[in-house]
Amino acid sequence: MLNGSGPESVVPTTPVALVEAAYVKLAERVGIARARLGRPLTFAEKVLVAHADDPRTVGFDRGVDYADYRPDRVAMQDATAQMALLQFMLAGLATVAVPSTVHCDHLIQARVGAEADMRVALDINSEVYEFLRSVSSRYGIGFWKAGSGIIHQVVLENYAFPGGMMIGTDSHTPNAGGLGMVAIGVGGADAVDVMAGWPFNTRVPKLIGVRLTGALSGWTAAKDVILKVAGILTVKGGTGAIVEYFGPGAESISATGKATVCNMGAEIGATCSVFSYDLQTAKYLRATGREALADLADRYAEHLRNDPEVDADPERFYDRVIEINLSELEPHLVGPHTPDLDRPIAEVRAEAEREGYPLRISSALVGSCTNSSYEDIGRAAHIARQAKAKGLRVQTPLMITPGSEQVRATIERDGLLADLEAIGATVLANACGPCIGQWQRDDMPAGKNTIVTSFNRNFPARNDGNKDTLAFIGSPETVVGMAIFGELDDRFTREFEPPVADDLPSRGFDRGEFGFETPAADPTSVDIAVAPGSDRLELLAPFPAWDGHDMRGLRVLLKAKGKCTTDHVSPAGPWLKYRGHLTNISQNLFLGAVNAFAPGEPGQGVDARDGSTKSLPDLARAYKEADIQWLAIGDENYGEGSSREHAAMEPRYMNGRAVLARSFARIAEANLKKQGLLPLTFADPADYEKVRADDAVDVIGLDSLAPGSHLRVVLTHADGSTDEFAANHTMSDEHIEWFVAGSALNLLASRQ
């Protein structure tokens, strides 16, 4: 039961009493941690210890210890909530143990515009929405219906609070770090643990400090801070770390701007990113109707920021410190194909000409959870007004997705949407839309084409399913400026005045149509509908327990070459409709992956039995049907990107047993463990080269699997010769229990 109360306590905000209790604990525990460590603390360290299951024994060894935390909240979006809740149902509990919410945002396809697209979405997704609504109602979960906005904006507006801790089944959950929350993206199985009353277990993060000096001004936006950081740290540079922003420059960034920075920390693999509590945070809390929380945070302010010694000498406290002078920062543009390919916009034209990127922009898109705030739209609208005054219109389609119904209603009331529409923009539903490939692009150009977005991800085929689309990412004003002249060029910075806009509406927010539904007063009255034979939803069956033996004779399904993100393992776009149906969605397994054994088109594999080429999902299914187990070989940062646990459940369901990679992204590795697969890394990354298409692979040493133990991998090649090398793992005692039980869920269910 939710902190001892009933479904009526499930409200569309974080209750003051919950925050107050969290602050009392915070104040007490900061003292405990200072005493244990014998030194001052960073803000993130304070929040972590305040949420430790036991502050007296919790490990502090960064990057080494695993620790149990008790988050204040859980948030889930519709595309991942389906699997999370199907698993939660198997746990056999009456209600969630921690305040939790579901947000319907990913399943709305963008085609013509907000109203028509919403109508279609409500129709084609009705079965899934009804399932999510009924499960939420039954188990005491707050439900935000389609149209209310993108999960991270809705959380920022209603639930996030400084010094809190949250997990969310989406990799951009760290958005709430803009309000000072340690908010971590996880797979559904992690959310299930917490909703079932168990702690959230994760490795104690390292700490990267980003010291901001100067002030944002002119064309430079909060987005440019994170684009710059992505260029410095690269897509794996933040792995296993919390990125903490501090220093005198932080106050020049609005709360929603801070959220943009934290949001896109997901693109550098960070566990999360966080800003301390400051005047901007307080202003945002007040503007979003949470004056009482701001008053409370003012009272506890000393605990909601770094100890002064940390600010004075950050090198002593952080594993790495990066300095950024905001006054010198220029607007940036990253891409194509990876969010860390960074350059100032002043250099983009020359680089595009050199690299052969089409200069002409075929579409421009503003929005997504990372850049859809009132301020973002206001800055974009300011450029639009200048363009209109000069008689200019966009030279390319420009689409705008407001982040939430509250933002949409407010920007409509304040005329900002009209400013954008006046130069030719189309307004889409308050949802993820094209950011997740929910974009029916009727004007798809033939061959290579360039798009610019204010989103956060730009993996090949991500937005429109077309691998020939080159996606570049910049701030909303950069995107609109480029759309007006239709080219990858910084000309707009010379033709227009820099954007000026309010960060918050002077007339207050207009809530628009309120999209929150409380759970049923009598949960037992709620039927959960999963129609037999449905192609959208399927009840889960437990995965088999470990058979107690080493893995012998595994086939190599593929050897991924280069980037293998979760979008490569389990693509989104049209596949999103099967997110609640494991059998159906498994037909997309590795469709985006480039296989070293079958180069050319992605998603192809070689059947080791006869050398024939098959699509990877067909090959996996053929192996499963023949009772053949297999493993996947990965390159660096395997599983980068999304939190979707389908990327782990599908291989498990299709008879995969292990993934052996050069390195892993954090959530992907955790998801594999949760689903009973073995994530292994090459002790010597060069051994990757030894793996051949027709190898039989043994993984030896499982009987003595223990934290820190080494495993041996033996490759028996088709010619009878062998290669043998060491593999590492990061399995803790608990992870080993999951592996033995067959999955974390099996273990959880056995404990109820």
Given ligand MIC, ligand SF4, none, residue 641, with its beta carbon under 5 to 8 Å by kind, binds: ligand MIC
**Cis peptide bond N-terminal to 336, omega within 30:** yes
User: Does the annotation mark 457 as catalytic?
Assistant: yes
SS3 123: helix
> Which range of residues in 36-44, 189-197, 490-498, 638-646 is near ligand MIC by CB under 6 A?
638-646
Residue 450 CB, shortest distance to ligand SF4, in Å, is 20
Of 432 and 606, the one with the shorter C-beta distance to ligand SF4 is 432
The reply to whether 376 belongs to the active site is no
Identify which of residues 170 and 414 has a Cβ nearer to ligand MIC in the complex: 170
Q: Write each residue from 162 to 201 as x if it is in contact with ligand MIC (CB under 6 A), else as -, in one continuous string.
A: --------xxx------------x----------------
The 3-class secondary structure across 177-226, one letter per residue, is HHHCCEEEECCHHHHHHHHCCCCEEEECCEEEEEEEECCCCCCCCHHHHH
Hey, how many other C-beta atoms are within 10 angstroms of the C-beta on 105?
A: 31
| Binder of residue 658, out of ligand SF4, ligand MIC, none (CB less than 5 to 8 A by kind) | none
* Residue 287 phi, psi (nearest 5): -70, -25
Stretch that binds ligand MIC, among 65-73, 516-524, 636-644, 711-719 (CB under 6 A): 636-644
On the CB side of 730, CA atoms within 13 Å amount to 25
Comparing CB distances to ligand SF4, the nearer of 261 and 619 is 261
Place of tokens 């709430």: 176
Which range touches ligand MIC (CB under 6 A), out of 16-24, 295-303, 522-530, 639-647? Answer: 639-647
Binding residues among 434-493 for ligand MIC as defined by CB under 6 A: 436, 457
Strands 678-682 and 722-728: antiparallel
CA distance 249 to 327: 9
Which of 644, 646, 652, 692 is an active site residue? 644
What's the closest the beta carbon of residue 106 comes to ligand SF4, in angstroms?
6
In Å, how far are 57, 74, 176, 582, 700 from 164, measured between CA atoms?
21, 12, 9, 34, 43
Burial of 508 (0-12, 13-18, 19+ CB in 10 A): exposed
Residue 76 or 425: which CB sits closer to ligand MIC?
A: 76
By the criterion CB under 6 A, which residues form the site for ligand SF4? 106, 150, 170, 172, 368-369, 432, 435-436, 455-457
Catalytic residue flag (residue 303): no
Q: Report the partner that residue 210 touches, choosing among ligand MIC, ligand SF4, none (CB closer than 5 to 8 A by kind).
A: none
Asked if 550 is an active-site residue, the reply is no
From the candidates 105, 278, 376, 489, which is the catalytic residue? 105
Stretch that binds ligand MIC, among 236-244, 623-631, 635-643, 682-690 (CB under 6 A): 635-643
Report CA-CA distances (Å) from 108 to 122, 131, 188, 541: 8, 16, 21, 29
Provide, rounded to whole angstroms, the least separation between the CB of residue 330 and ligand SF4: 25
In whole angstroms, the minimum distance from the beta carbon of 644 to ligand MIC comes to 4
- Residue 572 touches ligand MIC, criterion: CB under 6 A: yes
Active-site annotation holder among 72, 78, 117, 170: 170
H or E segment and range at residue 260:
helix 255-263
Tell me which of 80, 263, 281, 401 binds ligand MIC, using CB under 6 A.
Answer: 80
If residue 136 lies in a helix (H) or strand (E), which one and from where to where?
Answer: helix 126-139
Q: State how far the alpha carbon of 65 is from the alpha carbons of 57, 68, 109, 706, in Å.
A: 11, 10, 42, 14
564 binds ligand MIC (CB under 6 A): no
To ligand SF4, the closest distance from the beta carbon of 454 in angstroms equals 10
- Least spacing, CB of residue 565 vs ligand MIC, in Å: 9
| 390 CB-contact burial (10 Å; exposed 0-12 / middle 13-18 / buried 19+) | exposed
Residues in the chain, how many?
752
Verify whether residue 170 is a known catalytic residue.
Answer: yes
d(CA 328, CA 346) in angstroms, rounded, equals: 14
Q: What is the spatial distance between Cα 20 and Cα 293, in angstroms, rounded to a whole number?
A: 9
643 touches ligand MIC (CB under 6 A)? yes
- Asked about 78 being catalytic, the answer comes back as no
Smallest separation (angstroms) from ligand MIC to the CB of 176: 14
Tell the burial category of 701 from Cβ atoms under 10 Å away from its Cβ (0-12, 13-18, 19+).
middle
- Interacting partner of 368 out of ligand MIC, ligand SF4, none (Cβ under 5 to 8 A depending on kind): ligand SF4
Q: Cβ 524 to ligand MIC, closest distance in Å?
A: 31
SS3 361: strand
What does the binding site for ligand MIC look like in residue numbers (CB under 6 A)?
79-80, 106, 170-172, 185, 436, 457, 572, 641-644
Catalytic sites, residue numbers: 105-106, 170, 457, 642, 644
